[in-house]
Structure formats: C-alpha cells, structure tokens
Amino acid sequence: MAGAKTTTAIAGPMARIDDKAGRVKGRSTTARFMQLSTVFRKTKQLILNDALNNTNIKKRLLVIVKAFPGRKILVIGDIVADEYIFGITSRISREAPVAILRYDSTVIQPGCAANAINNIHSLSGHVIPIGVVGEDETGKKLLAVMGKGEIVSDTILVEAGLTTPVKTRIMAGGHNTTKQQMIRIDRDNRGNLPKKVEKRLAAIFIKSAKVADAIIISDYGLGTITPYIRRAINNFAKGSKTPVIVDSRYDMLKYKNITAATPNTEEMEWATGVILSDKNIVETGKKVLTKLNSKALLITRGKDGMLLLQKGKKEFKLGICGKDEVADVTGAGDTVISTFTMSLAAGATMEEATRIANYAGSVVVMKSGTATANMDEIRGAINSDHL
C-alpha cells in the first residue's frame, strides 16, 4: 500500500528498524538490561567477597582464641564477694507491705576484680591476682571458690583489720520460677586501707607486672586502688610496652599513659558530665582518649553494642551479638575487659579484641548471676555469627 510504513524484525525481540526514519528502536531497553546485568554481576561478586572476608575474620578470631592458654594476666583491684541469698516467697508481712521469704540457700561468687580473675582463669589464662580480703569467713570462702580453688592466691593479702567487701543480693521467687533480685546490701572498706597494706600491694604490683603479658586494673572505687597505688600503675604504664587496661567506676580520668579503658555509658557520663547520645559520643570519647593519653577507648553501650575509639583511626562500631534479651548483666563488664585483655595478650589488634570481647559478653549475659565465659563458648559464638 503506497505510503504505508513497514517494519523488519532484526536480532532481538526488543529491537526493530523504522524504514522511514532508519532508526533502531528499543536500544535504550537493551542498554538498561545490560547495565542491570553488570550491576548484578558486581553485586554478586561483592557478596562473595564479603562472605570470604567474613570467613577470614572468623578464622583469625579463632586463631587468637586458640592462643589464650598460658597468657599471664595480672589483675589488681577490689576483690569482692557477691553473695546471693535465695528465698521462697510465702506471703506479705503484717508488719509492713513487704514480702516474707522462707530462706532456701546462700551462694558466694567472685565479684568485681575477683570476677575478672575468675574470667581469666576460665579463659585458660595464667592469672596473677593482686588485692586484699579480710581475715574472716567470707574472705576464706571467696578465696576457696575463685577458680574453684585452682587459682594461686599468694599475691592476695589477708588482713585481720579489714572485712571482706560483700555485695549481698536477696533473690526471691516461687518454687518453680526464676528468682528475682529484690534488694542489694553493700558492705565495704572504702577509704580504710592501712598504709602498710597499700605499700605492700604496690610492691607486689611492681614486681609482678614485670612478668605479665597484660594487666587489668579493676577499680570499683572500694578503696584498693589508692592514689599511691594508682601512681605506681601510671608510672609503670608510661615506661612499659605491656598492655594496661583499666575499668574504673569513678576515677577513669585519673589514669594516664594506659593502653585502653573500657567504661560503660554510665561511667563515661560520670567522668565527663555529659549525657551521651549517638550525636556526641564519638566527640566526647575522643576528648577522654586525649586526657588519658591512651591508645584506645572501648565504650560498652548495652543494647547499642560497643564503640572503639583509637588515636588517628576511624571509630569502630559493633552491634550486640546474639539475642537482645538478656538474663543478667551482673559482671558482664568484667568478662568484657578480661576477654579484651586476653585477646591483646594473644596478639589481637584492637578491633579483633573488641570483636572477641563482644562475643564473650553475649555469652555471659545469658547466664544468671556473676558468671564467666570459656573458650568453647566464645568459639561457638564466633562460629554461629553471620557477622
């Protein structure tokens, strides 16, 4: 038919020739298809690269954990007995609106620095514990349960004039229910450490620090780490390559030249007077890093994971590992600093040590009471994580 437009199909169903215009239509669609194919291939390669990278990270972390046994870790600080008194709820008292508990049992577990000591032992490290307990029944029981009696405690002083610090938790519940903490009672020796004991502890620290692979300062503000002992720690840290890691409840900024500090959010806010948020935590942390003259600052943030800050490096953030539902956070900070320090002693980078500490923390918060994590549990957490 005169003047009619005809088309001729060419290779590919999307393309055709316009006889009048002489143009190939549909080329833009084909180009888009080819572009999407390229993106798909690149995305697939990135996924494969990430999987390979994650596999390599896991292998590296497992190598570090394997190197834990035998590492000499010195722990100095407040050795405390965590006492749990369990009772069965029976009725409400007529004397006051409180529950009456029928006594069931008492358990003593290592707390504060003693828990860090226990964690190092649980991780197959060789622990050098330094601290003081009272010459009392609680002190005897505490030393007996530390490491299930396997920890050599010659460097822990037993003093007749002191009482062993105790945190007593009253745990209540029914016969077949999980016991819940009702109240806590603290007894301590804050500010009562005699000068002769102070000097002996400092001397033991200076001597023992020379043979340690790494050092943990577990300062809960209960009087063991006096200004005199802190000066000895700071002086050692200044002239030594041995990692010195500090966990201090109230006096973090009084430490200098250390390798790292491991505060939680509350301790950071106490030290800086700043209410932390996602917007200001990095800037605030960098200021603390400068004041400490420290290589790193590891902030534990509960459900928000961990934040590692280092001099001259970009911040390193980790989300929580495993479930965000926890059984008990008691002593989790002790597990974190213990595993972090063991990892550094085993040759880990700060980032690797943070990852392993995060795994250990995820293990211990699923346990009731003051608890520890062991090598097998950490390996299991690493292997089961998808990074």
Residue pLDDT, tens place only, 5-19 = 444 443 444 444 344
Structure tokens at 63: 């190598």
Q: What is the mean pLDDT of the chain?
A: 87
37 has pLDDT over 90: no
Percent of the chain with pLDDT over 70: 84
Look at residue 383 in the predicted model and tell me its pLDDT.
Answer: 92
Average pLDDT over residues 149-153: 87
204-217 burial: b if 16+ Cβ within 10 Å, else e: bbeebbeebbbbbb
Average pLDDT over residues 89-107: 93
Q: What is the pLDDT of residues 348-373, one digit of tens each?
A: 999 999 999 999 999 988 887 778 99
Average pLDDT over residues 87-105: 93
pTM of the model: 0.84
Look at residue 215 in the predicted model and tell me its pLDDT.
Answer: 98
pLDDT band at 2 (very low <50, low <70, confident <90, very high): very low
**What does the DSSP assignment read for 357-376?**
HHHHHHHHTTSSSS----HH
212 has pLDDT over 80: yes
Instruction: State how far Cα 191 lies from the chain centre.
Output: 28
Look at residue 307 in the predicted model and tell me its pLDDT.
Answer: 97
Average pLDDT over residues 275-303: 96
CA count, 13 A, side-chain hemisphere, 102: 6
Percent of the chain with pLDDT over 90: 71
Q: What is the pLDDT of residues 62-91, one digit of tens each?
A: 999 999 999 999 999 999 999 999 999 989
Look at residue 21 in the predicted model and tell me its pLDDT.
Answer: 44
Task: List the domains of the chain with CATH numbers.
Answer: 71-80+111-166+188-384 (3.40.1190.20)
Average pLDDT over residues 36-57: 63
Alpha helices by DSSP H, listed for the chain, are 27-66, 113-122, 137-145, 195-209, 227-238, 265-272, 281-292, 332-345, 350-364, 375-384
Look at residue 332 in the predicted model and tell me its pLDDT.
Answer: 87
- Whether 19 is catalytic: no
pLDDT band at 379 (very low <50, low <70, confident <90, very high): very high
Out of 34-38, 111-115, 193-197, 372-376, which region has the weakest mean confidence (pLDDT)? 34-38
Look at residue 19 in the predicted model and tell me its pLDDT.
Answer: 45
In whole angstroms, give the CA distance from residue 382 to residue 38.
34
pLDDT band at 268 (very low <50, low <70, confident <90, very high): very high
User: How far, in Å, are 85, 168, 179 from residue 98 at the CA level?
Assistant: 17, 18, 16
Look at residue 320 in the predicted model and tell me its pLDDT.
Answer: 85
Of residues 291 and 39, more confidently modeled: 291
Q: What is the pLDDT of residues 223-254, one digit of tens each?
A: 999 999 999 999 999 989 999 999 999 999 99
Q: Which of 50, 334, 376, 385 is catalytic?
A: 334
The 3-state DSSP class for residue 140 equals helix
